Amino acid sequence: MSKFSTLDKYTPTVGKYELLPFRFESLDNDDVVVTNFVGEFVILKREKLNDVVGKKLLPTEETYSLLRSRHFIKEASDSASIELLGLKTRTKFSNLRNFTNLHLFVVSLRCDHSCGYCQVSRQSENKAAFDMTEATADKALEIVFKSPNEAIKIEFQGGEPLLNFEIVKYVVLAAKKKNEVQKRDLQFVITTTLALITDEILDFCKEHKIYLSSSLDGPEDLHNQNRPRPGKDSHARFVEGLKKARDKLGYDSVSALMTTSPASLGKVRDIIDEYLKHDLDGIFLRHLSPYGFAIKTKSYKAYNVDKWLEFYCEGLDYIVELNKQGIRFTEYFASLLLTKMFSANDPGFVDLMNPSGAGISAVVFNYDGDVYASDESRMLREMGDTSFKIGNLHTNTYEEIFTSEALLNALDDSFTMSAPMCTDCAFEPWCGAEPVFHHAIFGDVLGRKPESEFCKRIMGVVKHLLKKMQNDPEAKDIFIRWANKC
Amino acid sequence: MKLIVEKNVYSLEAVEKSAYRFIDRLTILISTDNENIICEIEVVEGAKEGIENLIANFKRELLDQQLRKQIKHETESARNLILAYAFSRTGLQG
């Protein structure tokens, strides 16, 4: 063996670089956003991008070290770049190994509200045929504890789950009993309007550490308009229920979600102010989805993606201004996207997962024993479309349910890394497959992305976030905080 | 209208991908002869932009797609290596 390395080892490598895999997307005429293999990003002038690809970038330039540090380019001696990208890729997809975490129990389709945009097609209160039975709940729990995931979340959905609270109690007690042996990190959530909450229910929630996820659409008039119920007192009941629940369970045990109805447009600041009034620390500016009564009553068609984006961007800008004034308040949809933009962690939000989170991240047990790949899948079922029914608790095994053709085909066919347009899109690492939405609109799980409102919505929000960060360093600091929440 | 692009400048793949990205605004029929790729272009009914603007943007997209193809080609081995590292020791290699 020679005492000296060969001559080529002494050849200077500085300034000679290779490209690592990256994608780019135009922001406006002059700027492009460039994302690497795992979604780390840099905004460049278009001419600079051409210089990068043409190997004209000089090592003395700031862009050179920026791109090298974020693994867009590598010098011959940078042997760690590829390994680091490999590790980050592994982290990004690590949720897949854990498999299903969220198990939704639709304990009743009955509801005391009659919202025009209801996406689950609720039934009137007195139809016990729409309640889950103990036999069905038992079967569902068998499936829950077959999940390999250490963390198990059971979420009770409706209709209004409190109308069948007996089965909620039954499931909680039975799950805890099973967990004495299983020792999982077990968590319960009830999705409720809070209109029917009682002291007895709250006592049970306190005893078993059950979180409450509620709904607040905005100020009283808007909320009551969106969420009609006998007595027209949905908002008042929410406010009263919120206070009671916070007093009993603690301040952070209750959260709220809003839905953007046609009546919400133009009122985003009022809606956010209402959230602040009730000391909620954030809002999810949620668009309507094309399911259930949202289609029947034409609510979904009443505004398009451009109108929603206008609503969303105004709201986001307002929230950023509030934060600048020292009011800590988060927009949760942005926060999900920003987590993906600023870290290798996947927040596990079903709509923004690839492969789709349907079945993998969440699964739905319907009141009648049918199993669906996601909440949206069971919403489609109430419209007569059972494409995403992946089995039945009474007739199928765990293995049959999670290897069903309905699930595997949807995951495979919608995979964004091989989908036309997505495969080249710089936003793909931050986006999701959303097979159920595309099936509902296009009749196939892939859909045509240039025509897809989902694609337009994600692109619109991401571009707004990027431009905001580019033009406003203070906004960027706020966004980084949202992305790195504990 | 007809847009003719030279085969030795643009690949068929870049033209196809550009056409796909404009599928909501333009209907593009692609054919080839010995030297050129020919795009027969019609504006989709109800498109908000005028044809001149759409064609100008389509031409920019052609450049982008050609550049994307170049990056993809040049980084193919790195991409495979990253995936090999990512999925090593997962028990999924068969």
What pLDDT was estimated at residue A360? Answer: 86
What pLDDT was estimated at residue A475? Answer: 98
Pair B7, B1: CB distance under 8 Å: no
**B21 CB near a chain A CB, below 8 Å?**
yes
| Strand bridging mode A362-365 / A102-106 | parallel
What pLDDT was estimated at residue B35? Answer: 96
- Contact assignment for B82 to A450 by CB distance below 8 Å: no
Average pLDDT over residues B40-59: 92
- Contact assignment for B17 to A90 by CB distance below 8 Å: no
What pLDDT was estimated at residue A486? Answer: 60
> What's the Cα-to-Cα distance from A367 to each of A139, A144, A161, A364, A382, rounded to whole Å?
12, 15, 11, 10, 12
**B7 CB near a chain A CB, below 8 Å?**
no
**B17 CB near a chain A CB, below 8 Å?**
yes
Q: From first to last of its 486 residues, what are the pLDDT tens digits of chain A?
A: 667 777 666 655 656 899 999 999 999 778 999 999 999 999 999 999 999 999 999 999 999 999 999 999 999 888 899 999 999 999 888 888 888 999 999 999 999 898 887 766 666 656 678 999 999 999 999 999 999 999 999 999 989 999 999 999 999 999 999 999 999 999 999 999 999 999 999 999 999 999 999 999 999 999 999 999 999 999 999 999 999 999 999 999 999 999 999 999 999 999 999 999 999 999 999 998 877 766 666 666 778 899 999 999 999 999 999 999 999 999 999 999 999 999 988 888 989 999 998 888 899 999 999 999 988 888 888 888 999 999 999 999 999 999 999 999 999 999 998 899 999 999 999 999 999 999 988 889 999 999 999 999 999 999 999 999 999 999 999 999 999 876
What percentage of chain B exceeds 70 in pLDDT?
94
Domains of chain B and CATH, by start: 2-88 (3.30.300)
**B78 CB near a chain A CB, below 8 Å?**
yes
Pair A179, A186: CB distance under 8 Å: yes
Each residue of A429-440: b (16+ CB within 10 Å) or e?
bbbbbbbbbbbb
- Contact assignment for B86 to A93 by CB distance below 8 Å: yes
Q: Is the dihedral of CA A189, A226, A288, A266 positive or negative?
A: negative
Average pLDDT over residues B15-23: 97
A93 to chain B: closest CA residue: B86
What pLDDT was estimated at residue A389? Answer: 95
Closest CA to A197 of A159, A227, A239, A157: A239
**B24 CB near a chain A CB, below 8 Å?**
yes
Report chain A residues whose CB lies below 8 A from the CB of B60.
26
- Contact assignment for A86 to B68 by CB distance below 8 Å: no
Interface test with A, best of B25, B65, B71 (most A CBs within 10 A): B71
Interface test with B, best of A17, A18, A19 (most B CBs within 10 A): A19
- Residue B82 has its nearest CB partner, among A53, A85, A448, at A85
Element (H, E) at A318: helix A305-324
Q: Which residue has the tokens 């290798």?
A: A344
Q: How many CB pairs under 8 A join A and B?
A: 75
**A250 CB near a chain B CB, below 8 Å?**
no
CB atoms within 10 A of CB A17: 20
**A20 CB near a chain B CB, below 8 Å?**
yes
Q: Which residue has the tokens 């603690």?
A: A250
Report chain A residues whose CB lies below 8 A from the CB of B75.
19-22
Interface test with B, best of A84, A90, A446 (most B CBs within 10 A): A90
Cα–Cα distance measured from residue A37 to residue A26, given in angstroms and rounded to the nearest whole number: 18
Interface test with B, best of A24, A50, A85 (most B CBs within 10 A): A85
| End-to-end alpha carbon distance in chain A | 53
- Contact assignment for A19 to B79 by CB distance below 8 Å: no
- Residue A451 has its nearest CB partner, among B24, B71, B78, at B24
- Contact assignment for B67 to A18 by CB distance below 8 Å: no
- Residue B78 has its nearest CB partner, among A20, A53, A93, at A20
**A247 CB near a chain B CB, below 8 Å?**
no
The residues pairing with A45 across neighbouring beta strands, listed in sequence order, are A31
What pLDDT was estimated at residue B26? Answer: 96
**B53 CB near a chain A CB, below 8 Å?**
no
* Confidence (pTM): 0.91
What pLDDT was estimated at residue A28? Answer: 78
